[in-house]
Structure 1
Amino acid sequence: MSGSLIEKSRRLAETTMNVLEPHQRPKIRFYRGPADVALNAESQILAASWPVDGLEHLPHTLEPEIHHVLHSKEGLARSGLRTPAFEVITVTFPADGISAIWLAAESQQIISKIEARPIPFALKLQQTMLGFGTYIIRTKSEQQNLTNNILPNLLANYLPYLNASNAHLYPANLIITEVVEDTAADLSLTFFINQAGHCTFICGTTQVLAGGVFFSGATINYRDQGKFEQRCSRTMEHIGQFLHSKGYYGAVNADVLEDAKGIQWIVDLNVRMPGSYILGALKKHFWIQRGLMCASLLFKSLLRTPRDVFIDLLWDDFMQGRIVIAAWYEDAEERSFATLVVGAEDERGLVSIVERVSTLCEE
C-alpha cells in the first residue's frame, strides 16, 4: 500500500469513526504490508481476523496454522460438531513439484469424481468468503455446468497455490457435503467466546444472499432475539466448547440449518469478527433508544453519489438515526463503496428504507 493510499484510507476511516464519542473511537493503524506491522509494546498480542502470511513472527492470540484449520471447510467437517456427511478430495503436493502434466491429470481426476457424485451435494473450497467458493448442486444441468464450465478454469488457478511450504495444510483439498433436506429454518448465529470459554449471545440474523449463494447483507428483528438465543443455545455451547478446546477466543458466526425434525446442522463457521456482529452491537441505538425493531446490514454497496451528496439526499433518515455508515471507501476512480446499517419500526418499513437507499446504489 503506497503512502498516498494509506493517507487516503486514514482520512476516510477517520471521517466515519469521528461520529463516535471520543472514548468509543478505535485506534486505527495503517501499514504498507504485513512486513511493516509492529506491536507497540511487549505485552501486546495480535488477534488476527484470519491468518496472514508475513505475520508469523508476531505473537498471536491463536497460533496462525491452528486458526487456518479452524477457518477451513475440512476443519469444520472433521470438528466432531453436527455437520452434514462429507467427503474430502485430497490434493497432495507432488514430490517433483507442480507441472502442466500433473495439473491436467489432477484436475481431470477431481472432475471425474464430481461427475460421478449423486445429486444433490455441495462442493466447497477449503477457504471461502461471502459464499464465493461454495457450489450448491441440485440438478444434473448444474452438475454439468460445474464440471464442464466452472471447474476447469477454477482448478487451473486454484491448484497452483499448493506448494512445498503449505503442503502440510492441504489448502487445495475440496470438500463435498450432503445437502440438508427439508430445511425448516436458516439461522445465522453470532456470539462471543471469552478466554474462559464462556459464550455470550450477540445476535441472530437472517442472511441476505445475492443469487441465493453470495453474502450481501443480513437482517435482524430485535424483538425476536430472546427466542433466537433460546433456540440456538445448545448449538452455541457446542461450538464454543470446540473452539475453546483449540485455544480460540473472540467473535464467531455460525450458519445453522434446522431441519423439519428440529435438528440443527452447522454448515459454515466463521472463526473471526463477522459482518453481522454490528447488528447486535446496534441494538441499543435502533431498538432501545428509537423503537426501530428491524435493521438490515447492506454490505459493500456501490453508490452512485459521493458521501456528502448521499447524506444530503437521505438527511431526514440520518437525523432520525435510521441510517448508520459503518464503512465508506473511495477507490482510485472515485467510486464510493459503503457498508450501511438501516433501521425501521417493522419489516414493512425496513423494505421501504432499503428501497430508498437502493435508488442511490448501482445494480
Structure 2
Amino acid sequence: MGSTGSRAPAEVQLPTVKLDTTLAELYRRASPEDAHTRLAWISCGVTCGVDLSPHVPRNTKFVYEDQAFISTPSRDLSNGNAALRWSLAKKHLSLIPQRDAFVSGAAPVVLFHMGQSPEDVEHDRREAEATMSVLDPSQRPELIFCPGPSAIPMAEYGIDKLEYKVIFDGLQGYPLTHDLETHWLLNSKAALARSGLPTPKSHIVETEGWPPAADSCCSACREAAQDASRFPTIPPSCTGPRGQWLAQETDRILSAVRARPVPFVFKTQQAFGGAGTWLVTSDEKKSQLLAELSGEQQQPPNHHSNNDDDNSLLRKLLPLLTPSNAHLHPTTVLLTDLVSSPAGDYGLTFFVTSAGEALFLAAAEQMLTADVSSAWIGSTIHYARQDALRARFQRLMGRVARWVASHGYVGPVGADVLCCSSSRGENSEEGGREGPGEECYIVDLNVRTCGSLSLPLLRGHFVGRGLECASSFSIGVRGGRREFIEKWRGPFEEGRMLILSWYEDPEEGKSIADVVVGGENEERLAKLMKEVREDTEEVTF
C-alpha cells in the first residue's frame, strides 16, 4: 500500500518568453526590399581541423583558426579522433545554432544532423524543440534539419535565400544574402586594420606564394597526403620545396615577432570565440608566443620526439594556404598595439541596414577565461545603462555600419571596443573619440550574430520582472535538462533563468548548455552566477 505523503514534486512551470524583437523582424526592418523574401538562417559553427560529421566536412578554402584548431596537436586533428569530433559537433551543430535560433523569430532555421541514425536525428530534434518550446508561439522558429551544407532542402521548404553565421565551404552555389568572399573580408583582422575605423595600429605580416602540391614534393609529403582523414600538413621530415617554403614563411613571421618590442597583441587572420589572439605583455610571454608559433616548447623529461610531435601553430596554419584561397590571405598575421589599462571594455551589438544605418541593440561586458587562451565564455548587460551607452557609441556604430554596408552586408554585427581617457595612436584620421577626453578603439569586429545577442532581446522579459541585469554563459552539467531545471526550480519558475540551448549526451550522462540569468542588481546577479558556476563546468568555444 503506497504512502500518501510521498508525492512526486509537481512539474516545473516555465514562464512563456516573449522577446522584444527577433532577428527575422530586424532583418525585415533593415532590408525593406527583402521583406517578402523567405529567408532561412544557418547559425551552425565550423572548423578547419576535422570533419564535424560525414556530411559536415572541415573547411579547406575558408580557414578559421578556432580554439580547437589552435590548441589541438596536429597529430590529433584527424577524422579518426572520434572524441574530438563529437565534442566539437555538440558545440558547433547543436549549442551555437540553438542559441541563435532562440532569437530568430518566426523564420526557417537550418540545423545539421550530428548523428546519422534515426535515433540520433530524433534526439537532435527533441533537444532543439524543447529549447524553443518556452517561446511565445508567434516567435518560435521553423526548425529544418538536414545532413549538412550540401543537402539544404531549399525547394522543399520554399526558401529563397540563406543568411549564415560563419562560412561553410559547402554554401558556395546557394542564393545568399551576401557574398561569401566579401563576408570573409569583412570578418578578417587585416580588413579591420585597413578599414579606416578607429583601431590600434597594426603591422600586417602576409605570407608569399603558397606551398607546392604534395605529390610534386618528397616521399614524406606524398605519404602524408595519402591519408585523407588526417589534417593536411608539411611533415618535419620534408626534404623538398614544401619544407623550404614553410621554413621561409615561418621565418618571416618569427622575425617580425622577434623584432617587435613588448607590449603588443598577436592575432591570426580569422577566428571566433576568443581564439587567435595572444596578449604579449612581457618578454617572458613573447618567448612563450615564439615557442608556440615555432613548436619549440620545453619537452617533459624522458620525452622521445618523432615527426608527428611538431605542434607548431605555423606548421598547422601555413599548409592550409592553397591556390584556391591565396587571394583571401588566410595565413596573414597581425602585430597590433596593446591598449593598456582601458577604462571601459564593451561588446557592442547592432544591426546594419541596407541604407548603412546602425540599429543599436546592446553594449554588454564580455567574460573571458583567466588562462592564456582568453576564450569567450559569456556576457553581462546592465539594462538601465543602455540608453546612455547607445548615445555614447552611436557615432562609432554609424561608422562601422557605413563601412560594412558599402560592401553589401545587411545584418547583425558585434564590435569589441576598448575605451581609455588618454590619446593613443590608431588607424583613423578622423579619430576614435566618443566623448570628451575619451578615445575608443575597435579591437575586434564580428560581422555576424554574437553570443550576447539574446541579452538585449530579453530586456522586456527581465526588466518586467524587476531584473535590471542579465548574463549569458555556457555551462557543462552532469545529468540532463529535466534534472537541471528541477534543481534550479525557483529561478526557472520566476523567469530569472532561461535555457538558450541544450544538448544532452545520453551515453556520457552529461549535457552542455547556454543559459541566461537575471538579477535585480549587480550583486544579486553575481550571486546567482557564482552559485550556477560552482555547480557546473566551464565550456569554451
Shift of 1:33: 1.6
**Residue aligning to 1:210:** 369
**Residue aligning to 2:515:** 340
Give the 3-state SS of the residue equivalent to 1:30 in structure 2. Answer: strand
**Residue aligning to 2:285:** 142
Shift of 1:259: 1.6
For residues 342 and 71 of structure 1, what CA distance do their matches in structure 2 show? 30
Shift of 1:346: 0.5
Which stretch of structure 1 is more off in the superposition, 120-129 or 39-48?
Answer: 39-48
Amino acid at match of 1:220: I
**Residue aligning to 1:279:** 455
For residues 440 and 470 of structure 2, what CA distance do their matches in structure 1 show? 25
**Residue aligning to 2:477:** 303
Shift of 1:150: 4.4
**Residue aligning to 2:501:** 327
**Residue aligning to 1:111:** 254
Amino acid at match of 2:260: R
In structure 1, stretches of 5+ residues that fail to align are none
Residues 330, 42 of structure 1: alpha-carbon distance in 2 compared, 3 angstrom cutoff: closer
**Residue aligning to 2:440:** 264
Shift of 1:27: 1.0
For residues 131 and 121 of structure 2, what CA distance do their matches in structure 1 show? 16
**Residue aligning to 1:195:** 354
Q: Which of 273, 279, 282 is 1:130 aligned to?
A: 273
For residues 263 and 355 of structure 1, what CA distance do their matches in structure 2 show? 33
Q: Following superposition of structure 1 onto structure 2, how do residues 1-363 of structure 1 map, counting pairs within 5 Å?
A: 1-4=114-117, 5-40=120-155, 44-94=160-210, 96-97=212-213, 99-152=242-295, 153-211=312-370, 213-261=374-422, 262-287=438-463, 289-299=464-474, 301-331=475-505, 333-362=508-537
Shift of 1:42: 6.9
For residues 152 and 136 of structure 2, what CA distance do their matches in structure 1 show? 27
Amino acid at match of 1:160: P
Shift of 1:102: 1.9
Give the 3-state SS of the residue equivalent to 1:255 in structure 2. Answer: strand
Shift of 1:32: 1.4
For residues 420 and 449 of structure 2, what CA distance do their matches in structure 1 show? 27
Residues 78, 60 of structure 1: alpha-carbon distance in 2 compared, 3 angstrom cutoff: same
Shift of 1:100: 2.4
Q: Say which one has the larger Rg.
A: 2
Amino acid at match of 2:485: I
The answer to whether the 8 Å contact 2:420/2:440 transfers is yes
For residues 319 and 43 of structure 1, what CA distance do their matches in structure 2 show? 37
The answer to whether the 8 Å contact 2:264/2:280 transfers is yes
Which stretch of structure 1 is more off in the superposition, 342-351 or 193-202?
Answer: 193-202
Select the structure that is richer in strand: 1
For the aligned residue pairs, the C-alpha RMSD in angstroms reads 1.7
Amino acid at match of 1:284: G
Amino acid at match of 1:57: G
Amino acid at match of 1:343: G
Residues 151, 305 of structure 1: alpha-carbon distance in 2 compared, 3 angstrom cutoff: farther
The answer to whether the 8 Å contact 1:6/1:31 transfers is no
For residues 387 and 212 of structure 2, what CA distance do their matches in structure 1 show? 57
For residues 112 and 50 of structure 1, what CA distance do their matches in structure 2 show? 32
For residues 333 and 32 of structure 1, what CA distance do their matches in structure 2 show? 23
TM-score between both structures, scaled by the size of structure 2: 0.64
For residues 105 and 235 of structure 1, what CA distance do their matches in structure 2 show? 40
The answer to whether the 8 Å contact 1:256/1:267 transfers is yes
Which aligned segments of 4 or more residues in structure 1 are displaced greater than 4 angstroms?
none
Deviations for 1:84-114, whole angstroms, at most 9, x for unmatched residues?
1111111133373471232233223311221
The answer to whether the 8 Å contact 2:265/2:338 transfers is yes
Give the 3-state SS of the residue equivalent to 1:263 in structure 2. Answer: strand
The answer to whether the 8 Å contact 2:499/2:513 transfers is yes
Deviations for 1:212-258, whole angstroms, at most 9, x for unmatched residues?
72211010110111111111111011001111111111111101111
For residues 375 and 247 of structure 2, what CA distance do their matches in structure 1 show? 29
Amino acid at match of 2:466: G
For residues 321 and 221 of structure 1, what CA distance do their matches in structure 2 show? 17
Shift of 1:164: 1.3
Shift of 1:185: 1.0
Residues 155, 39 of structure 1: alpha-carbon distance in 2 compared, 3 angstrom cutoff: same
Residues 245, 149 of structure 1: alpha-carbon distance in 2 compared, 3 angstrom cutoff: closer
Shift of 1:151: 4.2
Deviations for 1:63-93, whole angstroms, at most 9, x for unmatched residues?
1000001111111111111111111111133
The answer to whether the 8 Å contact 2:352/2:410 transfers is yes
Question: How many aligned positions are there?
Answer: 361
The answer to whether the 8 Å contact 2:211/2:322 transfers is no
Give identity over the alignment, percent: 39
The answer to whether the 8 Å contact 2:211/2:246 transfers is no
Residues 176, 320 of structure 1: alpha-carbon distance in 2 compared, 3 angstrom cutoff: same
The answer to whether the 8 Å contact 2:346/2:365 transfers is yes
Shift of 1:181: 3.2
Which stretch of structure 1 is more off in the superposition, 14-23 or 132-141?
Answer: 14-23
Give the 3-state SS of the residue equivalent to 1:333 in structure 2. Answer: coil
The answer to whether the 8 Å contact 2:349/2:412 transfers is yes
